Structure 1
């Protein structure tokens, strides 16, 4: 397949990431070099309100979200409830999940003084910009994106909302003229759509949107404790597979004690041939804030049973204060609603002038 010529190095590295997985660290380093922590840049990211996050969410995204607050002068984090209704939702459960997610983000360290934390549906500009960008997007372009390929097979084609989900993601990002977006490897193609739409809009209506760069997390994906061939997920039907941030210490200990390993009692890190043990090493290293090599070194002389106890201690030490803070915040829904309301006001202040400019350029006003 012929590749389009990119004059912008961010896009060059994006292509390298897409077509050559061995260069992922290079792409991440290149994006990190463009962070502009002292002078500027704006970060946007969103998370669906699916209830309390699990350990994989925390290590794969939220821990990084917290650190980005001190690296960029402008940071926006959205609870993307518009995205969540592409699947059937119980209204009462959705309302509860939004507040649970707000409590979880605050407990993990998101600071409303340093980041704009808001509920997506409360800023109507997201939906309007999504429609405008959708009119600049072809159906074949969306049909090739991985999320549609995967979920439409599961849902027998799926809804129009599911099909245009990536356009709304692009609108979320471009509405705030975001320069950087923290993403996982499975979201890189969706960010490329946002980059393409920024370029298409700018070419047609004049320069307005920066082309956002990916911030790839260096944290390895946390795998299911029962099937280390797949990532940890809330939708896993096995109760022992996933550690929630509100799990008790006893629950955490039980789940890790029953985590799948293998018949070799020695602790080594080899994700290809020993995925279960390697998953424990990944969790240990991340929660103890040490390198994988150091985690393996600390396991010297321990069999996997004893090592699981070491991992359990590291997880409990980090999760306990988060769990306690989530419980405290959950008990005060009015405070959570107030945080989201204030964040929504701040988000609208940023979004409204951008959409006014978009409307003027398109010819609506």
Structure 2
């Protein structure tokens, strides 16, 4: 079984990404699992090329620094030739209505004065990501489940029309992840794209910066430390972060402090210790561009080799070879 997961370099990787996904990828990865930096997906909204290039390198370095096997990691655009070919074949297999009814397209297009065509066709590219690597299981949240269903539909349709080439993937509900909230606004998730970043702890933040953000986290006026997520979301967010970093239940984490100041100090200490080795290793990789490029090139070669026979078969049965 091959599981495939990706991260889009739309911003710096933050604590929520690390605790909710990346740390688990490193700890639970099986030999055939694959992880990629989906830089092509970041182009569906306005972006700056130099920032995309830098964030792609940074995201790759963080994945490697977290302990994910370098042989399982690649950058999406390093397969642009293979993906471009398969993406066109799949676009010619997909109906316009199927793409246009994607919920994320409707929501994001409504926020744009003029939505990019890539925003409409992005789910087909996601299907190409999945089918090219022969992935059988795609761990996704509810916001991406519709896209995996489209990949399933296109795989079945192509196989039925031209010949059995693609594995039909299945969406998998990932194990309950840490739902880290914005420290300054616990009513929303911690996000790379947050306009105000004083509530977002980034993996590569310097320790004093991360500690300052945690010390300024929004709580309430009650002062006693109790885990009540519905009534006291800001306090609960801090308690949950401490619980995940230290491997205890939120209720046990709450009992380790009697004041908000003590709790924030404990959270800062746990977060800094959790992120320290990742930050240090990622910095080493970013400071050694030759080594990072070597790992990236090797990952690209391995990903291309995995995809080669499958792409060749798809092009052949589709009448292109």
Q: Which TM-score band (shorter chain)?
A: over 0.9
Q: How does 1:39-188 map to 2 (within 5 A)?
A: 41-69=1-29, 72-113=30-71, 115=72, 117-123=73-79, 124-188=81-145
| Distance in structure 1 (CA, Å) of the matches to 2:299 and 2:105 | 31
| Distance in structure 2 (CA, Å) of the matches to 1:264 and 1:287 | 25
Could you tell me which residue of structure 2 aligns to residue 25 of structure 1?
none
> Quick check: 1:50–1:101 contact (8 Å CA) kept in 2?
no
Q: Provide the secondary structure at the position in 2 that maps to 1:110.
A: coil
Indicate yes or no: 2:188 matched with 1:246: no
> Quick check: 1:51–1:98 contact (8 Å CA) kept in 2?
no
- Give the superposition deviation at 1:73: 2.6
> Quick check: 2:11–2:193 contact (8 Å CA) kept in 1?
no
Q: TM-score, normalised by structure 2?
A: 0.93
- Give the superposition deviation at 1:88: 2.7
| Distance in structure 1 (CA, Å) of the matches to 2:266 and 2:208 | 14
| Distance in structure 1 (CA, Å) of the matches to 2:222 and 2:89 | 57
Q: Provide the secondary structure at the position in 1 that maps to 2:3.
A: strand
- Give the superposition deviation at 1:153: 1.1
| Distance in structure 2 (CA, Å) of the matches to 1:248 and 1:312 | 12
Q: Provide the secondary structure at the position in 2 that maps to 1:46.
A: strand
Deviation string 1:232-262 (CA, Å, 9 cap, x unpaired) is: 1122222311001111222122111111111
| Number of residue equivalences | 319
| Distance in structure 2 (CA, Å) of the matches to 1:51 and 1:148 | 20
Could you tell me which residue of structure 2 aligns to residue 349 of structure 1?
305
Give structure 1 stretches of 5+ with no counterpart.
1-40
Deviation string 1:142-184 (CA, Å, 9 cap, x unpaired) is: 2222221221111135111011111111110111110112223
Q: Provide the secondary structure at the position in 1 that maps to 2:223.
A: coil
Could you tell me which residue of structure 2 aligns to residue 196 of structure 1?
153
Q: Provide the secondary structure at the position in 2 that maps to 1:156.
A: coil
Deviation string 1:75-133 (CA, Å, 9 cap, x unpaired) is: 222211211222233222222222111211111111214x2x21211212112211211
Q: Provide the secondary structure at the position in 2 that maps to 1:298.
A: coil
- Give the superposition deviation at 1:62: 0.8
Give structure 2 stretches of 5+ with no counterpart.
none
Could you tell me which residue of structure 1 aligns to residue 215 of structure 2?
257
Superposed CA RMSD: 1.7
| Distance in structure 2 (CA, Å) of the matches to 1:64 and 1:197 | 30
Q: Provide the secondary structure at the position in 2 that maps to 1:42.
A: coil
| Distance in structure 2 (CA, Å) of the matches to 1:342 and 1:51 | 25
Moved more, 196-205 or 77-86: 196-205
Q: Provide the secondary structure at the position in 1 that maps to 2:123.
A: helix
| Distance in structure 2 (CA, Å) of the matches to 1:273 and 1:127 | 49
Could you tell me which residue of structure 2 aligns to residue 31 of structure 1?
none
Q: Provide the secondary structure at the position in 2 that maps to 1:239.
A: coil
| Distance in structure 1 (CA, Å) of the matches to 2:132 and 2:115 | 26
- Give the superposition deviation at 1:204: 2.1
> Quick check: 1:62–1:108 contact (8 Å CA) kept in 2?
yes
Could you tell me which residue of structure 1 aligns to residue 263 of structure 2?
307
Q: How does 1:24-43 map to 2 (within 5 A)?
A: 41-43=1-3
Could you tell me which residue of structure 2 aligns to residue 21 of structure 1?
none
> Quick check: 1:64–1:217 contact (8 Å CA) kept in 2?
no
